[in-house]
Amino acid sequence: MTDLQSDISAAKDEIESLRKLLNRYNYEYYVLDSPTITDIEFDNLLKRLDDLEKKYPQFYDSSSPTQRVGGEINKEFKQVTHRYPMLSLSNTYSREEISEFVKRADEALGVKNLQWVCELKYDGLAVSLLYEHGRLVRAATRGNGTVGDDITDNIKTIRSIPLTLQNDDYPERFEIRGEVIYPHKAFEEFNRKRIENGEEAFANPRNAASGSLKLQNPKEVAKRKLDCYLYYLIGDDIKQTTHTERLQAAKRWGFKTEQYYKVADSIDGIMEFIDYWDKQRDNLPYATDGIVIKLNEIQYWNILGATAKSPRWATAFKFKAEQACSKLISTEYQVGRTGIVTPVANFEPVWLGGTWVKRATLNNEAWMQKLNLCHNDTLVIEKGGEIIPKIVECRHDEDLEKSHNLQRVEFVRNCPVCGAELVKEADQSGWYCPNYNHCSPQILGRFQHFISKKAMNIESLGGEKMRYLLNAGKVTDFASLYNLTTSVIVGNYQTEDGKKLSIQDKGALNIINAVEKSRQVPFERVLYALGIRYIGEVSAKTLARHFENIDNLRVAGIDDLINVEDIGLTTAQSIYNYFRNEENLAQIEKLKAAGLQFEVVKQQTDNILQGKSFVVSGTFTKFSREGIKKAIEDNGGKNVSSISKKTDFLIAGDKMGPEKRKKAQAFDIPIITEDDFINMIN
């Protein structure tokens, strides 16, 4: 054996050893909650593995611990058909109906004292994971029960889900189903960051978990710190004959399974479990909205079968949403970045869902009218499985009602901050303040939006620091950010409520460097950063490419704007109005003078790829993946996320998955290399 062969063999052994070691440490940390090494030690081992895999790409493995956050941006989730339908459980709030369900099973099977497994019902998103030869090969949502969305890349980011299994007694092919959840601590932390960045908080963990799994970028999903509990094994070759044995086997293979289940052999045992968790569920680190009751013996599942929608061997008892009553104290109105005014009810503090609650959103004027909110009302507040409380009912003061002296709480008609008369558009549910440039919460919100990651990405200047600098008069408009110096920034700051912040030389220098770096942000993101009402990331990119520079966009009429793809009348009117405001135009001229990018920089002047669509997969040496996609668009081509018969080319880089190659070959789509692409555009 040559020295080179010996090095390669040693590298292969070390790579395999590191993968096994890291998988074990990952299992101990995220599943057993009992880490045996520090985070720094884990990160160092992961870095070593990543370096080896890059040096020896022939040992690439999609199930490696380094591949948890490596999926491509997915603009269209591929649909997959479930081999076994994903049925929904029937559910009830009635204990009597649970008793009847158990009796029906007894009578149908002719067996007394059947064993029932009682489990917590997680309030999350149902998923099905397919494993072959001990490796995760696909993850899908329930969808309509027959067809779901392929979310494999996003599921890989959840650390408690194993990419490769432990031990060796698992079937060659099986599915395991469970629920992706957003733990309370991680949910609250993520919401806090959103609020600091001037973004709207998510209403509840379930919706946030569901929305996270449909994000296009797996790297963004990884930031959400989701978790997953698995509770249902299904396949042709599973040896275990009871549900509890299957739960134990799944845990042995590396899955995070239901830990609070109980086996009951009577109605009384089931009710005891329900009673216990109805009181204790607020102490859990995640949301649960009921109890699932399943027959333990698998053989009985097949005998009882299922209806078109639900199995006859399992059902769910739903907890009633926890409610509390409190006296309305006052109604206040908050103004957001875009001027939308949101009513909020302040009421006497009440203990609900494990926390003291004293305020809740009233959403908008229509919701207030639906509740028939009046002064001196008693509010019925509900939390259920949600973190953020909501008002579900208003009970009027009986004496006032009898004397016909009830006074409805009327939505304000002037901005509660600046006093401007509010405006409501015909197709919108909310009122907003039009005093765009002189309403303080709108100004703060726009600054926080301007510096955010997806806009100008001024990293060292977070939402809170921005608040302090703005309150202290250090900045007056977006352009003034580009005139800041370290001597101006350094100082001790304090807000009206007594909060303090100190920025010293190093912190000030970091801010200056981040501001300087932002001058290179491309036009489409600068346009998004301006905060024009109804202009999101996608529409900003569309407008930038269509008009090519800010001056062309500035003079565009309503008809010109409507003719742009995906720009409707409301958005067109908003853009048109923005550029009719002299203060906005002056702001843009200042930003131009500061060196920001207000035109599309084209590397090619012709449209040699016009009408051609490309799928880009793998890693490249001369381009980053985003760089090669930009080159496609600069030359008139179109990027698509998945291969279809309409795809013109597949650009194949290193570590491209075999499935893409197979699909391209099946459709007879040309597969080209990075160099082929360069020759094509040159």
Residue 50 maps to which CATH number? Answer: 1.10.287.610
Statement to judge: residues 209 and 99 lie in one domain: yes
Q: What share of the chain is helix, strand, coil (3-state, %, to 5)?
A: 40, 20, 40
209 lies in the same domain as 163: yes
Question: Quick one: 589 and 667 in the same domain?
Answer: no
The CATH number that applies at residue 655 is: 3.40.50.10190
Q: Is the pLDDT of residue 441 over 80?
A: yes
CATH code at 335? 2.40.50.140
348 inside domain: yes
Q: Is the pLDDT of residue 71 over 70?
A: no
Domain boundary among 435, 462, 490: 435
Residue 599 domain flag: no
Residue 366, classified by CB atoms within 10 Å of its CB into exposed (0-12), middle (13-18) or buried (19+), is exposed
pLDDT for residue 75:
53
> Is 506 within the bounds of a domain?
yes
Number of separate domains in the chain: 6
Instruction: Give the C-alpha separation, 47 to 40, whole Å.
Output: 10
What average pLDDT does the chain have?
Answer: 87
Same domain, 385 and 455: no
516 and 529 fall within a common domain: no
Q: Could you report the per-residue pLDDT of 86-132, keeping only the tens digit for each?
A: 988 888 888 999 999 999 999 999 987 899 999 999 988 999 999 99
- Give the pLDDT confidence score for residue 208 in this predicted structure: 83
Establish if 402 belongs to a structural domain: yes
The most confident of the ranges 115-124, 204-213, 396-405, 464-473 is 115-124
Residues 272 and 332 in one domain: no
Q: Check pLDDT > 70 for residue 70.
A: no
What pLDDT score does 447 carry? 92
Would you place residue 254 in the very low, low, confident or very high pLDDT band (cuts 50, 70, 90)? Answer: very high
Is pLDDT at 236 greater than 70 in this prediction? yes
Confirm whether 225 is domain-assigned: yes
Overall average pLDDT of the 645-655 stretch: 88
Q: For the chain, what percent of residues have pLDDT higher than 90?
A: 44
pLDDT band at 463 (very low <50, low <70, confident <90, very high): confident
Q: What is the pLDDT of residues 168-185, one digit of tens each?
A: 899 999 999 999 999 988
User: Per this entry, what is the length of the chain?
Assistant: 682
Q: How confident is the model at residue 654 (pLDDT cuts 50, 70, 90)?
A: confident
Rounded mean pLDDT, 505-521 = 91
* Residue 73 belongs to a domain: no
Residues 379 and 528 in one domain: no
Whether residues 554 and 475 share a domain: the answer is: no
pLDDT in tens, 562-590: 888 778 888 899 999 999 999 999 999 99
* 271 shares its domain with 144: yes
Question: 210 in a domain, yes or no?
Answer: yes
CATH number reported for the structural domain that contains residue 531 in this entry: 1.10.150.20
3-state secondary structure of 394: strand
Which CATH number covers residue 185? 3.30.470.30
590 contacts 526 by C-beta, under 8 angstroms:
no
193 annotated active-site: no
Q: Say whether pLDDT at 59 is over 90.
A: no
- Determine the structural domain holding residue 408 and report its residue range: 321-435
Q: Are residues 124 and 255 in the same domain?
A: yes
**Inter-helix orientation angle 3-30/39-55, to 10°:** 150
What is the C-alpha to C-alpha distance for residues 219 and 72, in angstroms, rounded to an integer?
Answer: 9
Count how many Cα atoms sit within 13 Å of the Cα of residue 480 in the half-sphere of its side chain: 11
| Residues 470, 542 share a domain | no
Q: In the listed set 270, 290, 318, which residue is the last one of a domain according to the structure? A: 318
Give residue 465's pLDDT: 85
Q: Give the tokens for residue 519.
A: 């001058």
Residue 623 φ/ψ, nearest 5 degrees:
-125, 150
Task: Kindly tell me if the per-residue pLDDT of 380 is higher than 60.
Answer: yes
pLDDT classification of 315: cutoffs 50, 70, 90: very high
74 within domain boundaries: no
Of 377, 412, 435, the last residue of a domain is 435
Residue 611 Ramachandran class (φ > 0 left, ψ -120 to 50 alpha, else beta) = left
From 47, 54, 103, 121, the catalytic residue: 121
Give the residue with greater pLDDT, 262 vs 564. Answer: 262
Question: Do both 571 and 558 map to the same domain?
Answer: yes
